[in-house]
């Protein structure tokens, strides 16, 4: 144990976490040339393309320091707020953290929120000033910012460049000398924290764990505490670039476990592994069932593909336990699923994976957050509203609650006014304003989550000219005034376009939705009225004008078989259109409410 160090890297997006990890692996000889690839740790294609570490992994390095051999376990943390619970569990598996700060960008919102998580877990923090090679780097000023934030000495900060390799040796030395070795009871019953899991289609779910007390052996009968299920440890081992099976993983160390579990939902991040016969009395603190934050309907473009979509979703769920779904039906879209996601990025990822891995073309409806509704009849009985159609009739509605978040925004002093107006427009209440330096300000707001789901990120970027970073964490439910806004096309309600909105926004958004739909819906041979309504009350109207006759005339004529061929050809291009009544609606229309300001 004396020679083990468990650490993670925390940083704001793009400050160089993955590049630094690669450099550490290089320097310790943990990768051969053949295995060298950019951003080794990001193994999913999607991750690589987006440049975001979505799933956390762990990797072990050997390193000799002052004549002694050390084992360094680097636990990777996801870089996006949608996955913040996973970040917190990865951090809980470590004793130390490299806090990477970009020498040109300085401290950003995610730097701070991750730092708080690390401090809550009593991690030793090693500040690293990265990208000092950049001409735009401002090492003195950024070092002052770090000293102010951490209350450390200037000499504690390691100047580095993950690009040139500067400072890498110092970082490794700091990990060994400054991060404490793990402490744990070797003789106590097994107690290990699950900080991640990865689905492997051939071997089942691989569970990544950190042993806190005792040890885990190949062939051992083990139990997962939260799910209360027993398993047989088919294989345990350490994680290098490949897996190395071992007989035993001991106190303080990190490893993987294979039990033949085929469903990702059985392995819960944050759960405790213990011995089945001699269980620990204490589970690792901090276990939470992750709850989806954003809901949307997913429908097949072709109604016949419903069963195929179901089986694709089931397969996706096997390797992404945070995806939840229930069947639902819509008059406009037919049969589909109401799905729960961790956030908007997660939604996009699922949609993309359905298309790439399962070759499905899907329509996604306007996302909403999860509300709590109470009726006059049963004012104490909570009704979960994950779908606009679940909202009880206004006359029977007692009250509605919506999820709130604490938003942290760091921006330049010049943009404070703009950022504040935006947040207030988004129903935010300012709770704190701190000048980190004379130039940089940290603002905190309590805000409804629903306001973030729509165009918040983009607006924030615009009003701050890109000089604002943003992070959030949930703070519970608060009472709200919610209405259901319906959209009528040609006089018919299109249920898949309904949205749950705060009453103060309803008129404005209803109007913008009509305007946007007018742009998106192709002209047809007749006028198409587009209306927004709250109950029976029309709050906005636009019209898609009919095409002139002579233009359409050309589309017709010719014999039937030729026409059918033409239709087949067009089908591909038309795939994302939906016929509702006699109106054709393109896929973008169903998401239009998200892009009202484009
Ligand atoms: N000049 C310079 N560029 C660097 C350095 N470190 C990283 N970069 C570049 O900065 C960009 C972001 O680096 P990443 O390592 O992907 O950042 P990250 O923090 O892992 O980003 P996420 O995975 O998105 O959170 C990449 O284009 C890197 O090549 C450095 O020390 N100097």
Q: Are residues 146 and 216 in the same domain?
A: no
Residue ending a domain, among 275, 310, 332, is 275
Tracing tokens 């703009």 back to the chain, one arrives at: 418
* DSSP codes, 145-157: HHHHHH---GGG-
Answer yes or no: are the C-beta atoms of 119 and 225 closer than 8 Å: no
User: For residues 501, 505, 507 and 509, what is the CA-based torsion angle, rounded to 10 degrees?
Assistant: -80
Using most ligand atoms within 8 A of CB, pick from 9, 19, 56, 105 the residue to mutate for ligand 1. Answer: 19
Say whether 235 sits in a helix, a strand or coil: strand
User: For residues 80, 85, 89 and 95, what is the CA-based torsion angle, rounded to 10 degrees?
Assistant: 60
323 lines ligand 1 (CB under 6 A): no
Q: Are residues 89 and 135 in the same domain?
A: yes
264 DSSP assignment? G
Other Cβ atoms within 10 Å of 306 Cβ, number: 17
Q: What residues contact residue 312 under an 8 Å CB cut-off, 6+ apart?
A: 354, 357, 358, 360
497 DSSP assignment? G
Q: Is residue 46 part of a domain?
A: yes
Structurally, the chain folds into a number of domains equal to 5
If phi over 0 gives left and psi between -120 and 50 gives alpha, with beta otherwise, what is residue 166? beta
Q: Are residues 128 and 46 in the same domain?
A: yes
CA distance 104 to 94: 28
Residue ending a domain, among 347, 365, 383, is 365
Phi, psi angle pair for 15, to nearest 5°: -80, -5
Q: Is residue 411 part of a domain?
A: yes
* DSSP codes, 267-335: S-TT-EEEESSS--SSPPTT-------EEEEEEESSGGGHHHHHHHHHHHHHH-TT-EEEEEEETTTEE
Q: What is the CATH number of the domain that holds 74?
A: 3.40.50.300
40 lines ligand 1 (CB under 6 A): no
Residue stretches of the annotated binding site = 14-19, 130-133
Q: Is residue 540 part of a domain?
A: yes
Answer yes or no: are the C-beta atoms of 83 and 54 closer than 8 Å: yes
From residue 193, alpha-carbon distances to 100, 282, 457 in Å are 25, 12, 34
Q: Are residues 106 and 173 in the same domain?
A: yes
End-to-end CA, the chain = 56
Q: What is the CATH number of the domain that holds 300?
A: 3.30.70.870
Answer yes or no: are the C-beta atoms of 324 and 126 closer than 8 Å: no
Closest Cα to atom 7 of ligand 1:
16
Q: Is residue 466 part of a domain?
A: yes
Residue 409 pairs in a beta bridge with 443, 470
Strands (E), 380-481: 383-385, 397-412, 429-435, 440-448, 468-480
17 lines ligand 1 (CB under 6 A): yes
**pLDDT per residue of the chain (598 residues) written in tens, 0 to 9:** 889 999 999 988 889 998 898 889 889 988 766 565 554 555 555 555 544 443 447 889 999 999 999 999 999 887 666 777 788 888 999 999 999 999 999 988 888 888 888 998 999 999 999 999 999 999 999 999 999 889 999 999 999 999 999 999 999 999 999 999 999 999 999 999 999 888 887 888 889 999 999 999 999 999 999 999 999 999 999 988 778 899 999 999 999 999 988 888 888 889 999 999 998 888 888 787 777 888 999 999 888 899 999 999 988 887 777 888 999 988 788 899 999 998 888 888 898 889 888 888 888 888 888 899 999 999 999 999 988 888 998 889 999 999 999 999 999 899 999 999 999 999 999 999 999 888 889 999 999 999 888 678 878 888 988 788 888 888 999 999 999 999 999 888 888 888 899 998 899 889 988 998 898 888 888 899 999 999 889 999 999 888 765 544 444 445 555 555 555 555 544 456 677 777 888 877 876 666 665 5
Residue stretches of the annotated binding site for GTP = 14-19, 130-133
Q: Which of 573, 592, 450, 594 is nearest to 530 (CA)?
A: 592
Q: Which of 211, 180, 208, 205 is nearest to 194 (CA)?
A: 208
Q: Is residue 523 part of a domain?
A: yes
Which ligand 1 atom is at minimum distance from the Cα of 53?
23
**pLDDT tens digits along 175-185:** 999 999 999 99
* Distance from the Cα of residue 179 to its chain's centroid: 29
User: For residues 310, 314, 317 and 319, what is the CA-based torsion angle, rounded to 10 degrees?
Assistant: -130
Q: Which of 174, 175, 218, 386 is nearest to 294 (CA)?
A: 386
Give me 245's structure tokens: 């099976």
Q: Is residue 88 part of a domain?
A: yes
Q: Is residue 283 part of a domain?
A: no
Q: Are residues 412 and 491 in the same domain?
A: no
**pLDDT tens digits along 526-564:** 899 999 999 889 999 999 888 765 544 444 445 555 555
* Domain assignment of residue 550, given as a range: 484-595
Q: Are residues 350 and 211 in the same domain?
A: no
Q: Is residue 573 part of a domain?
A: yes
Q: Are residues 45 and 150 in the same domain?
A: yes
Give me 35's structure tokens: 């295995």
139 lines ligand 1 (CB under 6 A): no
Q: Are residues 320 and 262 in the same domain?
A: no
Q: Are residues 471 and 490 in the same domain?
A: no
ipTM, interface predicted TM-score of the complex: 0.96
238 lines ligand 1 (CB under 6 A): no
Residue ending a domain, among 349, 365, 381, is 365
81 lines ligand 1 (CB under 6 A): no
Q: Are residues 490 and 460 in the same domain?
A: no
Tracing tokens 């990120």 back to the chain, one arrives at: 457
């Amino acid at each position: 144990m004396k020679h083990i160090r468990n650490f993670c890297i925390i940083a704001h997006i793009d400050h160089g976490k993955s590049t630094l990890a690669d450099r550490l692996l290089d320097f310790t000889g943990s990768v051969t040339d053949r295995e060298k690839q950019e951003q080794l740790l990001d193994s999913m294609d999607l991750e690589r393309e987006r440049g975001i570490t979505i799933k956390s992994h762990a990797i072990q390095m050997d390193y000799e320091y002052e004549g002694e051999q050390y084992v360094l376990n680097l636990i990777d943390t996801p870089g996006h707020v949608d996955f913040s619970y996973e970040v917190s569990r990865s951090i809980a598996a470590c004793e130390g953290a490299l806090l990477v700060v970009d020498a040109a960008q300085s401290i950003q919102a995610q730097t701070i929120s991750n730092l708080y998580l690390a401090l809550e877990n009593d991690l030793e923090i090693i500040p690293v000033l990265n990208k000092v090679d950049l001409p735009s780097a401002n090492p003195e000023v950024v070092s002052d910012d770090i000293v102010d934030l951490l209350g450390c000495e200037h000499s504690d900060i390691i100047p580095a460049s993950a690009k040139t390799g500067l400072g890498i040796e110092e970082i490794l030395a700091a990990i060994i000398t400054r991060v404490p070795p793990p402490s744990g009871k070797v003789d106590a019953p097994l107690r290990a924290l699950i900080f991640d899991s990865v689905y492997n289609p051939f071997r089942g779910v691989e569970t990544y764990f950190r042993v806190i007390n005792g040890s885990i052996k190949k062939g051992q009968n083990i139990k997962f505490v939260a799910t209360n299920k027993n398993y047989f440890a088919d294989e345990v081992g350490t994680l290098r670039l490949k897996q190395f099976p071992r007989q035993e993983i001991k106190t303080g160390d990190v490893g993987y476990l294979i039990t033949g579990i085929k469903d990702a939902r059985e392995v819960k991040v944050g759960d405790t592994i213990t011995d089945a016969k001699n269980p620990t009395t204490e589970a690792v603190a901090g276990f939470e069932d992750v709850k989806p934050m954003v809901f949307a309907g997913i429908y097949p473009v072709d109604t016949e593909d419903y069963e195929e979509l179901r089986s694709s979703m089931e397969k996706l769920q096997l390797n992404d336990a945070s995806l939840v779904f229930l069947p639902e039906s819509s008059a406009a879209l037919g049969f589909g699923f109401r799905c729960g996601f961790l956030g908007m990025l997660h939604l996009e990822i699922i949609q993309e994976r359905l298309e790439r891995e399962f070759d499905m073309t899907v329509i996604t409806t306007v996302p909403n957050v999860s509300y709590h509704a109470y009726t006059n009849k049963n004012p104490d009985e909570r009704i979960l509203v994950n779908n606009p159609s679940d909202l009880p009739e206004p006359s029977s509605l007692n009250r509605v609650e919506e999820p709130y978040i604490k938003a942290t925004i760091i921006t330049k002093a010049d943009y404070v006014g703009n950022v504040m107006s935006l947040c207030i427009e988004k129903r935010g209440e300012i709770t704190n304003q701190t000048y980190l330096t004379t130039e940089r300000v940290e603002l905190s707001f309590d805000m409804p989550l629903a306001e973030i789901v729509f165009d918040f990120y983009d607006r924030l970027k615009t009003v701050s000219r890109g000089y604002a970073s943003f992070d959030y964490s949930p703070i519970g439910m608060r009472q709200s005034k919610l209405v259901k806004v319906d959209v009528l096309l040609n006089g018919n309600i299109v249920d898949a376009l309904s949205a749950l909105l705060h009453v103060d926004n309803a008129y404005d958004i209803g109007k913008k939705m009509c305007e946007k739909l007018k742009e998106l819906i192709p002209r047809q041979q007749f006028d198409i009225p587009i209306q927004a309504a709250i109950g029976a009350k029309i709050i906005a109207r636009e019209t898609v004008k009919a095409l002139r006759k002579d233009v359409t005339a050309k589309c017709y004529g010719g014999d039937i078989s030729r026409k059918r061929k033409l239709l087949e050809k067009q089908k591909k291009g038309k795939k994302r259109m939906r016929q509702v009544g006699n109106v054709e609606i393109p896929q973008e229309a169903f998401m239009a409410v998200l892009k009202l300001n484009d």
